[in-house]
Amino acid sequence: MKDYADSMSPEQARLFHDDVLNIVSQIPRGQVTTYGIIAAWAGWPSHSRMVGRVLRYSPEAATLPCHRVVNKEGRTAPGWSLQRTLLEAEGVMFKANGHVDMQQYLWEPEEMK
């Protein structure tokens, strides 16, 4: 059984949006994190897809290092080939399968460790 809510009120959605942008702003250069980690840190562990929506549709996200967010397997966003280029420019290495080496480059906020 889940111990967290599934749906958000409009106020909770606004807070989630702000939290997501704040968390993304903190991802260090040369590291990545996942949509799920961001969702959990924002208090909504079942809302990783909503993290992606916030990053895709928020004008404020254009000034943030959104390229440092990948899925839990280390795959980059489909249709965004520049993401890999940006990560490689920061020294992030990719495995032969095209995924980020998550053991080496995963960043988790200190509070989650």
Strand partners of residue 69 = 33
Overall residue count recorded for the chain in this entry: 113
The contacts of residue 42 (CB under 8 Å, 6+ apart) are: 16, 19, 20, 23, 51
CA distance 10 to 7: 10
Distance of alpha carbon 73 from alpha carbon 79, whole angstroms = 17
Residue 58 has a CB neighbour count (10 Å cut-off) of 16
Which tens digit of pLDDT belongs to each residue from 26-81? 999 999 999 999 999 999 999 999 999 999 999 999 999 999 999 999 999 999 99
Q: Single out the residue of 23, 27, 65 nearest to residue 42, CA to CA.
A: 23
pLDDT level of residue 109 (50, 70, 90 thresholds) = confident
| Tens digits of residue pLDDT in 11-20 | 999 999 999 9
pTM of the model: 0.90
